[in-house]
Structure 1
């Protein structure tokens, strides 16, 4: 790597740090305000809310990656442009295209760093934070939190107790003609070390030849349907899963014939995130060279914020429409970043061709 490349990458990472230092406290404050709205005197207190916000800081950093790339690129390149260093660099024969290549190299380094944080730091910490919130905010447990299917067998779990053991388990067994053959309700269940469930407080109903047979048992052993993940993890949103967890859970959902679009979207959003970061950092090139004699970077940052917000809003609209209408996950998650990257490359090419 040449001296010029190292110098440019160093300034870009200074810009990334400045952007993160500005955006992270701002969005953390917004997150804290949102968490404080959920505080109640009977469980979820402000100390837990602060803990949850602090534990989700890495996730906030990951989500802000495209904004950090764009604004950090504008700051880093803008300072070099303001001091005349970019002009001096170009006078040595260095083209805008080469500057863009070095900028993309810095973007790849940023992506690798954020990817490591996402997979091994942000995802586990976010899951722990959500589990803390659920534990202290368990007054709001409307609806069955878990369900699964194996052939004609369906199961729902109402809630988890303080020791993460299932409560309110319902089993439904259907015939080939979709009529209900057997129904089992268990008050609680204990999960053994080998993964088997001991259902306790069991009420069973079975319909045979038009007759209903009711039976009550103290306990029944049952082989669970759920994937090889903890029940607490399965109650969490797909956005909090790591790529490895998403891949494992999607395979399980497909194998058991359950809907997997939500988690497939979450997986492809994670895989498409690097493309969006590359597109955003590349957009910093047109911002820098469109007004190279501008006295400061404030106006460029303002426009950059607008572009970043519009990109985020459009991306969220497309993803939610895709989930609503069950569109192709790869198309709706990779399409917008690829389109934006193509636009950025075209702009870089046009500026590079200018005299």
Structure 2
């Protein structure tokens, strides 16, 4: 049975890796097409866009892993079914539960690989890719540090502590030096919004430091003539789907402490925790599709059915995520409900097949 376990497990693993090998280059083409408008801007050329695409692929590989596992199991085990090997196994006394167990052994290795990609590789490559793109597209000197985002433009230094979106900033400090007058102007704003093609600062406190002393003035709102591009700042914002689990946990704690809405991050946190379970559940879904009609159903129809199941899962998971965000559904329930539904359906089908 150990030989049979390895044989079925490697069929699932090989099919999944083959699926990823086909899907990821296609996604890479779409990424390059999406970057086409930015190529030629400042120092962002085709080489930089290609490197950004390569550094982004681990994130997409992690997101695609459950669907790739479903399609890979259909391909790997489907090849055995087309050669009547599964029929021969069952005729030799191998039960459906034994086939499921052997396939799940391969799924465990795939789930471990997905965790490695999602928790270690993807966060690093995504960070380097975002930094590369930002540096190439920036017309000024910019840098992301633990103290926030720094930029230099027209002799002034800008520090942004929190970028909520490309068009919404919080905790901004602007330092300007007037050498002719010998003054330093330090401006702090509670927030900034990009409206009608211009930045607007809110909750402003401005200090003028000179030989005569310090003058402080407070302004409720004022325009800010800055060259910072909202599209550039969007790529600086951390995507919650890319942060590792421990990074998400600490960020959620930070948002709770500051009384901010952490709902979207909580949903993603539990989804990442349950990601290995989802990968294994897709194998359970694939096996009834194969054993139900191993002789009469061709590979094309099986793959089409797998794609439909993947689309259905995506729609269901998105629905539960929106329910959590809009109606206050518990994030853990929103994350675990879709895998439970699919596992329950797969087990019912397996009972019928068995």
What's the TM-score, normalizing by structure 1?
A: 0.74
1:202 aligns with 2:202: no
Distance 1:93 1:324 in 2: 51
1:216 aligns with 2:208: yes
Distance 1:134 1:100 in 2: 47
Deviation at 1:321, TM superposition (A): 4.2
What's the TM-score, normalizing by structure 2?
A: 0.74
Aligned counterpart, 1:340 = 342
Paired residues of 2:16 and 2:69 also in contact (CA < 8 A)? yes
Distance 2:188 2:90 in 1: 80
Q: Which moved more, 1:308-317 or 1:20-29?
A: 308-317
The C-alpha deviation readout for 1:307-347, integer Å capped at 9, x for no partner, is 21222233224323432444321111221111111111111
Specify whether residues 27 and 202 from structure 1 end up closer, same or farther in structure 2 by C-alpha distance, changes over 3 A only. Answer: same
Paired residues of 1:186 and 1:201 also in contact (CA < 8 A)? no
Aligned counterpart, 2:173 = 186
RMSD of aligned alpha carbons: 3.5
Paired residues of 1:131 and 1:232 also in contact (CA < 8 A)? no
Structure 1: state its 5+ residue gaps. Answer: 140-144, 149-156, 172-183, 190-199, 206-212, 221-230
Deviation at 1:243, TM superposition (A): 1.0
Structure 2: state its 5+ residue gaps. Answer: 163-170, 177-183, 190-204, 215-232
Aligned counterpart, 1:254 = 256
Q: Which moved more, 1:19-28 or 1:107-116?
A: 19-28
Within 5 Å, give how 1:109-258 maps onto structure 2. 109-138=109-138, 159-161=149-151, 167-168=158-159, 186-188=173-175, 201-203=185-187, 215-217=207-209, 235-258=237-260
Within 5 Å, give how 1:264-283 maps onto structure 2. 264-283=266-285
| Matched residue SS, 1:160 | strand
Once superposed, which parts of structure 1, at least 4 consecutive aligned residues long, lie more than 6 Å away? 231-234
- Figure out how many residues of one structure are paired with residues of the other and give that number: 298
Paired residues of 2:240 and 2:265 also in contact (CA < 8 A)? yes
Specify whether residues 90 and 138 from structure 1 end up closer, same or farther in structure 2 by C-alpha distance, changes over 3 A only. Answer: same
| Matched residue SS, 2:67 | helix
Specify whether residues 245 and 303 from structure 1 end up closer, same or farther in structure 2 by C-alpha distance, changes over 3 A only. Answer: same
Distance 1:170 1:348 in 2: 53
Specify whether residues 186 and 80 from structure 1 end up closer, same or farther in structure 2 by C-alpha distance, changes over 3 A only. Answer: closer
Distance 1:299 1:33 in 2: 30
Aligned counterpart, 2:201 = none
Within 5 Å, give how 1:263-302 maps onto structure 2. 263-294=265-296, 296-302=298-304
